Structure 1
Amino acid sequence: MDSGDTTWMLIATAIVIFMHVPGLALFYGGLVSDRNVVSTMMHSFVSLLVISIVWVLWGYSLAFGTDIGGFIGGLDYLGFNNVGEEAALGSLTIPHYTFAIFQCAFAAITVAIISGGIAGRISFPAWILFSVLWITFIYAPMAHWVWGGGWLFTMGELDFAGGTVVHILSGVSALTAAIVIGPRFEHLKKDHQPHNIVLFLIGAATLWFGWFGFNSGSALAANGLTALSFANTQVAAAAGGLAWLFIEWKVRKRPTLVGAATGAIAGLVGVTPAAGFVTVISALIIGLVAAPVCFFGIHFIKARFKYDDTLDAFGVHGLGGIWGAIATGLFATTSVNEAGNNGLFYGNPEQLLHQCIGVLTAIAMATIGTFIILKIVSIFTPLRVSKEEELMGLDLSFHEEPAYSSTNDSESSAKAIS
């Protein structure tokens, strides 16, 4: 084992967890109304708690255990059995513990992203049960197919840090859940504005910071590939932020901080599957294109079909992940990573086909699997809160824990119900 690789991977793991909480929690918490700040942050925080336990008990084994027919991992690592200080998976230069917890951080934030599509109306018991079932039957198999030696890995689909496994799965699952659970009662009656842009920006900046651990940590070592993915992450984020800013300036006649930050996140999502497979210029292009793809999804597709994806989890992560996975099939080059394959623009059109198969697989897995899991959850507990609880806000109606203590909280809640 290598001490430098181990040190970097421990840091990268901690950064990804910090990206989850407080990063995603603040990002989502700043976007919702002041009646649902605590409940929205709870979804992120509790997913980290729940998934960490599930991952140790069985999730990691299903994702990275000995391959069974290309579809699922074996039971080698149940309860972290056979996970120890030895080199991970026999070929890496980091302890098995480190690799397993790094992957745990990925699994946890993927679940948390889904909560953005259904914030403000899903019941808390349903969210906990959904998280356990979703990570077991959706995420773990997909992670095995792509990263654990499953059939997509064998076919040659490329996903450096989670375009299909993380972003398409979470984004499409968020959309499916939003449709199944139904829109907020006030969805089309009023314009929902972020209640605290400062919290949102702190969250966005933390996500950007965390993405360096997310993407560069996926090199699983401290080397030149780590540096490449680090550079690609920065450039794609900047390109996405600038592109969104100017698109919004042109279309809506004013640039906004929320738009620029959202564009940066779109660029980060887009480059995630490609980060270790493309040149820096290609990463710049991927970030530039991610912005209009996601902008169109949020402002036109969502408006056209009127689904209530509360915090645009599908618009940013779903569509951004689809573009990023396809872009990997266009721009991938072995000149920067010999472990990958060339893409279409480097003489290998077959790679684009493999990427499209991966995209369609993730969409089907997320759509069908999430629908079935939600129907199962609804047998045991209601999926959404009552109208009264929703209008009061979940911070008070369920948690009895307002984000902002003021003398007007009770009066505001009473007015909302009436």
Structure 2
Amino acid sequence: MSPSNPTLDAWEACNKIDTAFVMTCCAFCWPIIPAVGLGYSGYSTRWNSIASFYPALIAVSVCTIQWWAIGYALAYGEGGAVVGPLTTAFHRGVGADPVGTIPAILFSFFQLIFEATVCAIAIGGASHMVWGGGFLAELGVLDFAGGTPVHINSGATATALSLYLSYPVARSRKSANRTPSHLALHKPHNTICQMIALIIIWGSWLAFDAGTTLALNYKSVMAMVVTNVCASAGAITYAVYTWAETGKWAVDSVFLGAIAGLVMITPSAGFIGINTALFFGIFGALLTRQALRIKFTPWARKWRWVDNGDTFATHCLCGFAGTIATGLFASKEVASYDGVTDITGGVVFDGNIRQLGIQVLEACIGFTWSFVVSWLLFALIDCVPGLEVLCTNDELLMGMDAAQMEETLTEHHWTDEAEYKAIDAAKGPISIA
């Protein structure tokens, strides 16, 4: 008889169907990370498209190492009101032992995809406060898949960076060849990038919300369905709204409307039904459309407010709206579809007014935490020679692709490169013998 192996014993205690389900969701979720960069690449100017895509691609590697070293411990370590202790740093003790019905290492990997998607260090604290046993979790906050840890945090971080670029305080401010300026507004330069990004993001988001149940049950099915309904309602609403304004149909409108719906449903996918999801999507699209008008105002130009990627209007504001709306419309019945979850419910269906206050508190704390910490990190980075946050004036005129990348989508950036042809006009085909 072979000796007992604690790792294999723990593995045998896991549910293999649930494990296979979450592994499949991870595989479908992963492409959302580079797809976000692809979307921003389409949004940027053609002089900065590769540079806009690259951060999302490298985030996969950087966040994986950070998550393995300390990220998981800060987010899900046991104890601590704001961040977890480092008892599981470097994934010590994170292996086959079940978290729910799946191995802890798989749970960690699924949560890593969330962290890499946001690509903001501040998510570690927000995740712990909301999901890892922190004080917001103790208050009974309802956040199914990341209204605050994903969307409000990413929106707050983008807002902090936008403001820092306009009003730097360290080396970028003191540099004579770096000039903060208001970014000229422009239409997305590559609609194909937006189309491909939306296809990937929409599909990956279905797996995100379904997989958040961490088990294959009716709740995971409903989470996927309401996510699709909300995104669809947002896409149609935004497309029709802009058509009524301009008389034209636009892929950009479908893109923004669908993203607004996906953001709205994230905190509530496991707590609301199909009918409610439909109205969430409609409201999210209308909110985003109105919020996008801010950057076109004289006020925005005066104060150098930049939201070129529409992160504040979509992720931050819809994250706020979705988080608060969850407190209004969360249903005790829907939450119990996994046979385990028992919540008090929200205001409308279960008369729990207290939940609304908890949701507002979560959203405000999440935004403040991420904005302040992110701004301080940008300022600290800007203090390091060679890591100035604001690019030089020459780099700005040249474009980030030519200034900082070896690749470009614009041919005339490389006018000094010899043109290669496989056939010599005078001698015929070039011999490779």
For the criterion TM > 0.5, the same-fold answer is yes
Q: 8 Å contact 1:29–1:40 — kept in the other structure?
A: yes
Separation in 2, partners of 1:336, 1:272: 15
Three-state SS of the structure 1 residue aligned to 2:308 is: coil
Separation in 2, partners of 1:148, 1:50: 22
- Do the aligned partners of residues 188 and 370 (structure 1) sit closer, same or farther apart at CA in structure 2, a change above 3 Å counting? closer
Three-state SS of the structure 2 residue aligned to 1:383 is: coil
Three-state SS of the structure 1 residue aligned to 2:33 is: helix
1:169-219: per-residue Cα shift (whole Å, max 9, x none)?
A: 101210111011129979768541212101111001110011012111111
Separation in 2, partners of 1:337, 1:45: 35
1:84-128: per-residue Cα shift (whole Å, max 9, x none)?
A: 12212xxx11111110011111001102xxxxxxxxxxxxxxxxx
Return the match for 1:361 from 365, 376, 385.
365
Separation in 2, partners of 1:158, 1:217: 17
Q: CA deviation at 1:297?
A: 1.0
Separation in 1, partners of 2:180, 2:372: 28
1:51-200 mapped onto 2 (5 Å cutoff): 51-68=63-80, 70-88=81-99, 92-111=100-119, 134-135=120-121, 138-182=122-166, 190-200=184-194
Equivalent in the alignment of 1:205: 199
Q: 8 Å contact 2:295–2:306 — kept in the other structure?
A: no
Identical residues among aligned pairs (%): 29
- Structure 1 stretch displaced more, 167-176 or 71-80: 71-80
1:291-329: per-residue Cα shift (whole Å, max 9, x none)?
A: 011111112366343411221111110011011101101
Equivalent in the alignment of 1:49: 61
1:260-319: per-residue Cα shift (whole Å, max 9, x none)?
A: 121001100000000001111111111110001111111236634341122111111001
1:322-372: per-residue Cα shift (whole Å, max 9, x none)?
A: 111011011100111132331110211111111000011011112211221
Three-state SS of the structure 1 residue aligned to 2:101 is: coil
Q: Read off the aligned partner of 1:83 and give its amino acid letter.
A: V
The answer to whether 1:320 aligns with 2:315 is no
Equivalent in the alignment of 2:229: 235
- Do the aligned partners of residues 297 and 337 (structure 1) sit closer, same or farther apart at CA in structure 2, a change above 3 Å counting? same
The answer to whether 1:246 aligns with 2:252 is no
Separation in 2, partners of 1:241, 1:41: 24
Separation in 2, partners of 1:411, 1:366: 43
Q: CA deviation at 1:250?
A: 2.2
Return the match for 2:348 from 328, 333, 345.
345
Q: 8 Å contact 1:51–1:108 — kept in the other structure?
A: yes
Return the match for 1:401 from 390, 404, 407.
407
Separation in 1, partners of 2:281, 2:57: 29
Q: 8 Å contact 2:49–2:401 — kept in the other structure?
A: yes
Q: Which has the larger radius of gyration?
A: 2
Separation in 2, partners of 1:187, 1:236: 37
Separation in 2, partners of 1:188, 1:61: 39
1:45-74: per-residue Cα shift (whole Å, max 9, x none)?
A: 111111110000011011101112x22212
Three-state SS of the structure 1 residue aligned to 2:344 is: coil
1:5-35: per-residue Cα shift (whole Å, max 9, x none)?
A: 11111111122211112x1122111111111
- Do the aligned partners of residues 392 and 203 (structure 1) sit closer, same or farther apart at CA in structure 2, a change above 3 Å counting? same
- Do the aligned partners of residues 29 and 252 (structure 1) sit closer, same or farther apart at CA in structure 2, a change above 3 Å counting? same
CA RMSD of aligned residues (A): 1.9
Q: 8 Å contact 2:231–2:260 — kept in the other structure?
A: yes
Equivalent in the alignment of 1:126: none
Q: Read off the aligned partner of 1:87 and give its amino acid letter.
A: P
The answer to whether 1:7 aligns with 2:20 is yes
Equivalent in the alignment of 1:415: none
Q: 8 Å contact 2:295–2:307 — kept in the other structure?
A: no
Separation in 1, partners of 2:222, 2:274: 8
- Do the aligned partners of residues 185 and 302 (structure 1) sit closer, same or farther apart at CA in structure 2, a change above 3 Å counting? farther
Q: Read off the aligned partner of 2:310 and give its amino acid letter.
A: D
Equivalent in the alignment of 2:11: none
Q: Read off the aligned partner of 1:73 and give its amino acid letter.
A: G
Give the alignment's TM-score, normalised by structure 2: 0.84
Q: Read off the aligned partner of 1:98 and give its amino acid letter.
A: L
Q: 8 Å contact 1:187–1:308 — kept in the other structure?
A: no
Equivalent in the alignment of 1:387: 393
Separation in 1, partners of 2:185, 2:367: 30
Separation in 2, partners of 1:19, 1:12: 12
Separation in 2, partners of 1:202, 1:277: 30
Separation in 2, partners of 1:8, 1:100: 15
Q: CA deviation at 1:252?
A: 3.2
Larger helix percent: 1
Three-state SS of the structure 1 residue aligned to 2:212 is: helix
Equivalent in the alignment of 1:280: 274
Separation in 2, partners of 1:368, 1:298: 23
- Do the aligned partners of residues 3 and 350 (structure 1) sit closer, same or farther apart at CA in structure 2, a change above 3 Å counting? same
Separation in 2, partners of 1:61, 1:297: 36
Separation in 2, partners of 1:358, 1:400: 43
Q: 8 Å contact 1:57–1:80 — kept in the other structure?
A: yes
The answer to whether 1:27 aligns with 2:39 is yes
The size of the alignment, in residue pairs, is: 381
